[in-house]
Amino acid sequence: NAGVTQTPKFQVLKTGQSMTLQCAQDMNHEYMSWYRQDPGMGLRLIHYSVGAGITDQGEVPNGYNVSRSTTEDFPLRLLSAAPSQTSVYFCASSRGGTGTKTQYFGPGTRLLVL
């Protein structure tokens, strides 16, 4: 199993550009989440999904969109990039219901917005 994969690993954007961060998992997990990591702030939840077709907002959703058309994929879209969105983005997945509650993380995408 590849686990949780993220692409790209690095990205530089100009203010106002849009892009999609890709996330995929091959563990048939129901739950998927997007976090951003900033120094001294831990990981903050952007959006999450409890199954295909179901998404919800986390702590810092503004400026980001998500969709979940399949169990495997959970892309994160930046609509109009801003310097405040410079961060490291992590995707995670876990089993739902009475599962082990362990979240598995991807390697991250480093985004710089100029």
Partner 1 sequence: AQSVTQLDSQVPVFEEAPVELRCNYSSSVSVYLFWYVQYPNQGLQLLLKYLSGSTLVKGINGFEAEFNKSQTSFHLRKPSVHISDTAEYFCAYLETSGSRLTFGEGTQLTVNP
Taking the complex as a whole, how short is the minimal distance between the CB of residue 80 and partner 1, in angstroms?
A: 26
The reply to whether 2 sits near partner 1 by the rule CB under 8 A is no
Segment interacting with partner 1 (CB under 8 A) among 18-26, 37-45, 65-73, 78-86: 37-45
Residue 59, SS3? Answer: coil
| In contact, 38 and 87? CB cutoff 8 Å | yes
- Residue pair 13/111 in contact by the 8 Å Cβ criterion: yes
Is there a contact between 10 and 110 (Cβ–Cβ < 8 Å)? yes
Report if residue 95 touches partner 1, rule: CB under 8 A. no
Binding residue for partner 1 (CB under 8 A) from 19, 27, 50, 52?
50
